[in-house]
Amino acid sequence: MYGNGYGDGGSIIGMLAMGFFALLFLAGLLVLLWWAVATTRHGSRHDHMGPGMMGGHGMMGGPGMMDDDGKALSILKKRYAKGEITKEEFDQMKKDVE
């Protein structure tokens, strides 16, 4: 009377589109979850950057990085303790800071 119960083909396209957007939504949720875990785990945004990436100012340099209280050396020691840099990188950067 009104077809065979499977639609006229338009519903297949609709189902595929709905499935695509559902996967896109889930992927977005996973990325958001990953970001939330990564930022919570690492604390500040500079803690998880690799060597030479301290805010885009080169190796441990830039405005406000080196002050009289040894903040640069303190950051360097923390990065070495966390295993973010090797002994060789630590020694070289320590020379640069001092």
> What is the per-residue pLDDT across 34-81, written as a single tens digit (0 to 9) for each?
998 888 876 554 444 454 444 444 444 454 444 545 788 888 899 999
What is the predicted pLDDT for the residue at 55?
A: 46
Cα gap 69→17, rounded to integer Å: 59
Please answer whether residues 64 and 81 qualify as being in contact, where contact means their C-beta atoms are separated by less than 8 angstroms.
no
Task: Please check whether residues 59 and 38 belong to one and the same domain.
Answer: no
Number of domains observed in the structure of the chain: 2
Task: Please check whether residues 98 and 61 belong to one and the same domain.
Answer: yes
What is the predicted pLDDT for the residue at 88?
A: 92
Task: Please check whether residues 32 and 71 belong to one and the same domain.
Answer: no
> What is the per-residue pLDDT across 3-39, written as a single tens digit (0 to 9) for each?
555 555 567 888 888 999 999 999 999 999 999 888 8
Task: Please check whether residues 56 and 91 belong to one and the same domain.
Answer: yes
Cα gap 90→12, rounded to integer Å: 60
Task: Please check whether residues 17 and 35 belong to one and the same domain.
Answer: yes
What is the domain range of residue 1? Answer: 1-43
What pTM value is reported for the model? 0.36
